[in-house]
Amino acid sequence: MSKNILWIAILALLVSCQDKIVSESSTTTTSEQATKAPAASETPKTSSMQESAKDTAVVNKAAADKAAADKAAADKVAADKAAADKAAADKVAADKAAADKAAADNKKVVAPVIQGKQPIKQQPNPAPSEIMLKADSGMTLAKANGLTKKCKSCHATDKDKVGPSFKKIQAAYGSANALTAVFESGFAVESRKVAMADAKWKKKAKTMTSQYKNLIQKQVKKGKLTYKEMAEAIFAK
């Protein structure tokens, strides 16, 4: 009997102990849950971290984009500058080539009329006849030589022969247009500037009158030349 009581007592103790263990384990579970609770709250924390990471990535991307845009802008400025520099250099080269060509043309006295485009200072001290030539038409030295071929038996460029030099005639008339006007009006002795300025030449006016009729007036009427061309030919020499 006492043995039974002992067993009961042991059983009771066991049961009470188990209760305690269960209760403790439940406490543990609660405390574990309590420990886990903050872990659960980690989820939002983690997502907030992810978000902030995302933000950082966005910011970084924006910065990278801006840097790329800045670089592109800088590249464009550099490219524009290079293009502008090249254009300027090309223009200078082209201007120089044009100036060189003009200078070469001037030397040949075959200069095309480039009025207003060429600064006068680019032509160092051009002879007065060259200025007149350019102001008039495209008379070339070769053409002038052809037109004055028959005049040369009595006229030279720089010295007097049977008639006054072409340089003297140029000085007396000043321009091919002035001489053209006198040729056109019939070349009356009173209109001739050289003859009217120097009695020596006036005495020989008749010689030139017959030359004018044969070599100039008749040829113009035949359409072989114009008074203007004849005058320009004298001014080209």
By the rule CB under 6 A, 193 interacts with ligand HEC: yes
**What is the C-alpha separation between 186 and 215, in angstroms, rounded?**
13
Stretch that binds ligand HEC, among 33-41, 67-75, 106-114, 158-166 (CB under 6 A): 158-166
Instruction: Give the tokens for residue 119.
Output: 């600064």
By the rule CB under 6 A, 230 interacts with ligand HEC: yes
C-alpha closest to that of 225 among 151, 175, 164: 151
- Tokens 């910011």 locate to 59
**What is the C-alpha separation between 117 and 101, in angstroms, rounded?**
13
Query: Rounded to the nearest whole angstrom, what is the least distance from the CB of residue 127 to ligand HEC in the complex?
Result: 19
Query: Rounded to the nearest whole angstrom, what is the least distance from the CB of residue 86 to ligand HEC in the complex?
Result: 53
Q: Give the x-and-dash track for 168-187 against ligand HEC (CB under 6 A).
A: -x--x------x--------
In terms of C-beta density within 10 A (0-12 exposed, 13-18 middle, 19 or more buried), how is residue 220 classed? Answer: middle
Q: Give the x-and-dash track for 109-148 against ligand HEC (CB under 6 A).
A: ---------------------------------------x
Q: Give the x-and-dash track for 11-30 against ligand HEC (CB under 6 A).
A: --------------------
Q: What is the dihedral of CA 90, 96, 98, 101, to 10 degrees?
A: -140
